[in-house]
Structure 1
Amino acid sequence: MKKDLLKFPFKRTFFSTVILCSLSVIFNSCNDDGEGRIKLNDKAPAKVTNVTTESGPGEVYLTWTNPTDESFMYTKIEYTNTKGVKKYKLISKEKANDSGIAQTTISGFGNTNAVSFSLFSCSVRGNNEGAVEVSASPQTPAFVDVAKTITLTPDLGGIYVNWKNIYNTPVYIVLNYYAASDSKKAGTFKFQINGNSESKQFVQLSYGKDDFLSGEECIVNVTTEDTDENASEPIEFKITPIAVVKISKANWSFPGYNDSSNAGTIGYSSQETIGEGGGKSPAGRVIAMLDDNLETYWHASWKQASNYPHWFIVDMGKNVTISSIELIRRQGDARGQKGQIFYTCSDEDAVNKDNPDSWAWTNHGAFTFDPGIDVPQVYRINSNPVARYIKVYFGTEHKGTGAQAMVSEINVYGAE
């Protein structure tokens, strides 16, 4: 169209005239004082009344009555957080109950120091008659009390972090650790615990690219945090994870493996031999999980459509004592599974090697998997089973945003 307008002056003049006339009509309509014009009431409304405060763990609960002015639109609450940063929160008038009473929670305070709150009742453009000032002191934050409950216990290939959280508020636990004999062998691990929970989390003290602390004394500094990263004072622990090794994958395989087919076998539900890596092995195949190369990965079949459930069976070639299983996602891809179930079976309990359905599998339960992180995810198998076979099952309940499961590597830690 540009070429036509440049080429023919008459057309260019005609279109310009039409556009100018259209704009003239629009502007004249906007300046018209006829019916339908919106009159904005932007008068500063009266102040909020009946302001009360109540303290909670690291938070303050505010309640007040909104003004009845027609121009009132929202309440703005200003305060300064523990880190000295000025913050504000807007509460729409629609949040109030039928009596005009509104309430909100201001959280993220890292101590019990008094906090001043300024409540402004505002028109649509923020006009107000000034603030109503109140002050309150939060109770001891949940993360501070949780820190006092934390203990560490040694385990095969790692440690258990034990805690108790009696509050509704979730808390983060952060471990900074290093080997007592070599501070360069160091790492960090952070995880979230739910409110009203008392449990434990297995942690492998990993460092470097593919190493972990095992069988040597470690210094572990534990802190707790809230969602605003207010942190407790560190608590130092000295602990020695029980020695285990990373089981060699040199003789691992998958029952019934076929390098040139997407179809499932007795050892896996499917694989992608065509659409990944140009079809060149091991791309897309189950064996990609055994090559210690994070750039290759198993992908359930998609050229030939498949959907959950997906699964595979690893044959380690002999019985080993399993302390933990490690899975690593396809790097940089968050469409994969959100969890899995682990099964194990010993060599002796797999009587008919051609029929895994007849084997005496032990179900070790379901575990969550975070498809959004590249780092290894380690799962403690509490019973330390002696097994030759591991089955990893991704049920429909573990479906992520995509239709197929994907795994870059599987590793096992224990004793041979």
Structure 2
Amino acid sequence: MKKLIYISLVFLILSGCKEMGRIDFIDDQAGPPAPVEVKAVKNISGGAIITYKIPEDRNLLGVKAVYTRNGEVVETKGSIYVDTLRVEGFGSANEQEIELYSIGRNEKLSSPVSVKVSPLAPPVQVVKFDVEAGFGGVVMSIDENKTNADLSLVLMADTLGDGKYLDMQTFHTKSGKIKFSRRGLSVRPTKFAMYLRDRWNNVSDTIYRDLTPIEEVRIPSDLFRNAALPTDYFVTAENSSGYRLENLWLGSDASTPGDFFASSHSGPMPQWFTIDLGRKVTISRIQKWPREGMELYSSTAPRTFEVWGSENPNPDGSFDDSWFLVGEFEQFKPSGYGEGREVGPVSDEDRDYWYNRTEFDVVPTEKATDPYRPLTHVRIRVTSTFQTFGTETNRSQVIIAQLAFWGQLVN
């Protein structure tokens, strides 16, 4: 009985404590905290990192920086557990004055400590960018965004020829190096303009270009067929016709489960297959869709591959002079791969690119000196999947939901 009473009392005490919750003592009568002591300033692109010594005060809540950015007074706050504050978003390299305050738990502020910073030129002034004519439209590029700043590329065009540039499309990226394509434009001389904008609405100078998009059409797939040359590998997973090669051009862009090509689970690497296009064409780009629900940038999706073309492939299936190299490609990842080429974290931009924008532009290279030659057959040679890339593994399954080819029809 005594034991039962003891347990009940403990329960009541604990319950009472839970109901009372946490009590934080705030002394409204306490004076303002002592000011911080600035120790160092590191100027960065468009801002600065200020290091300071936090005053010893049990009533201290944190520190804040107050400054003017683009004509507006803004604040940046830090807790008592850090000794740096980052001020950013300045649109020039002009000297800026920052005021630092210690904040008490009663929200009283210390006297301000003024510090001057000299930001380096902001990303919109130093990042290189350009726009040029491309197949079906124009190609916009960002190069050497070493700050990995969150930037927008704003494309404009004088479509009516009246000297008025209207916004055409805006692309957002944090990538250090990337290209965007705007397709579906008329094949006629057009005046284009483009500028960079950051998230604080700082903008770069505007560049102007007179460009003529190059004609490009999606190659009709009505005559596509599996060429099934002797050295090709198109053995399907579980030998199921549900994963046949023809799904690459008969499936939907959305790629519903089961509507994709999947080779056997332990096929040789590299492995390749050949598609007879049924007509003579030139290829300017390749689109690829992954299997819906496949883990991003991983597993059996192609990481690196080659594209070969031929007008009259050798019937023995060999890679001889009847074939020419269209291009060597690697799955692009907007946020970039790690120093050791590992995948690393996957961003929202990576996710969008993986499912919606994976394209491979055909361009002349040292190995592919004339990639726009007419062809009737395309051979896809997968040299690695994400599963085998950087390893000594020479066997893997390959899964692709759909392929599409763009270019020009040759009469």
Q: TM-score range by the shorter chain?
A: 0.5 to 0.7
Counterparts of 1:103-122 in structure 2, within 5 Å, are: 103-111=84-92, 115-122=96-103
Letter aligned with residue 181 of structure 2: Q
CA distance in 2: counterparts of 1:295 and 1:289, whole angstroms: 12
Relative distance call for 1:351 and 1:39 in structure 2 (3 A) is same
Residue 380 (structure 2) aligned to one of 391, 395, 399: 391
The reply on whether 1:57 has 2:45 as its aligned counterpart is yes
Q: Among 271, 288, 293, which residue is 2:252 paired with?
A: 293
CA 1:349–1:131 in 2, change beyond 3 Å: closer, same or farther? farther
**1:91-110 CA distance string (max 9 Å, x none):** 554x4xxxxxx444322223
**C-alpha RMSD of matched pairs (Å):** 4.9
Match for 2:193 among 188, 200, 221? 221
Distance in 1 (CA, whole Å) between partners of 2:268 and 2:97 is: 54
> How far did residue 240 of structure 1 move?
0.6
Q: Which residue of 2 aligns with 1:138?
A: 119
Matches within 5 A, 1:9-408: 21-26=9-14, 45-50=33-38, 53=41, 55-69=43-57, 74-79=62-67, 81-82=69-70, 84=72, 86-93=74-81, 95=82, 102-111=83-92, 115-122=96-103, 129-136=110-117, 138-146=119-127, 149-161=128-140, 165=144, 168-170=147-149, 172=151, 174-178=153-157, 180=159, 187-188=168-169, 190=171, 192=173, 194=175, 201=179, 203-206=180-183, 212-213=184-185, 215-228=187-200, 230-256=202-228, 266-268=232-234, 270=236, 285-291=244-250, 293-297=252-256, 298-299=259-260, 301=262, 313-329=274-290, 333=293, 335-337=295-297, 340-347=303-310, 350-352=313-315, 362=325, 364-368=328-332, 370-373=350-353, 374-383=355-364, 384-386=371-373, 387=375, 388-391=377-380, 393=382, 395-397=384-386, 405-408=399-402
CA contact under 8 A between 1:294 and 1:330: conserved in structure 2?
Answer: no
Offset of residue 241 of structure 1: 1.7
Summarize the Cα distance change of 1:294–1:91 in structure 2 as closer, same or farther, 3 Å threshold: same
In structure 2, C-alpha distance between the alignment counterparts of 1:390 and 1:177, rounded to whole Å: 38
How far off is 1:89 after superposition?
3.1
Aligned to 2:342: none
Structure 2: which 5+ runs fail to align? 334-349, 365-370, 390-396
> Alignment partner of 1:368: what SS?
coil
Matches of 1:249 and 1:390, distance apart in 2: 15
The structure showing larger relative contact order (alpha-carbon pairs under 8 Å, at least 6 residues apart) is 2
Cα offset, 1:391, TM superposition: 0.9
1:282-318 CA distance string (max 9 Å, x none): x76543432473344543559x977998976433235
**Amino acid in structure 2 at the alignment position of 1:372:** D
Q: Percent identity?
A: 17
TM-score normalised by structure 2 residue count: 0.65
**Could you tell me the TM-score, scaled by structure 1's length?**
0.64
Q: Is the 8 A contact 1:288 1:296 kept in 2?
A: no
Structure 2 letter corresponding to 1:82 = N
- Paired residues, what number? 358
Deviation at 1:216, TM superposition (A): 1.7
Q: Is the 8 A contact 1:324 1:414 kept in 2?
A: no
Deviation at 1:129, TM superposition (A): 3.5
**Which whole-Å CA distance do the structure 1 matches of 2:47 and 2:145 have between them?**
15
Q: CA deviation at 1:190?
A: 1.8
Task: Determine if contact 1:352/1:358 at 8 Å carries over to the other structure.
Answer: no
Q: Secondary structure at the match of 2:204?
A: coil
Residue number in structure 2 paired with 1:34: none
SS at match of 2:209: strand
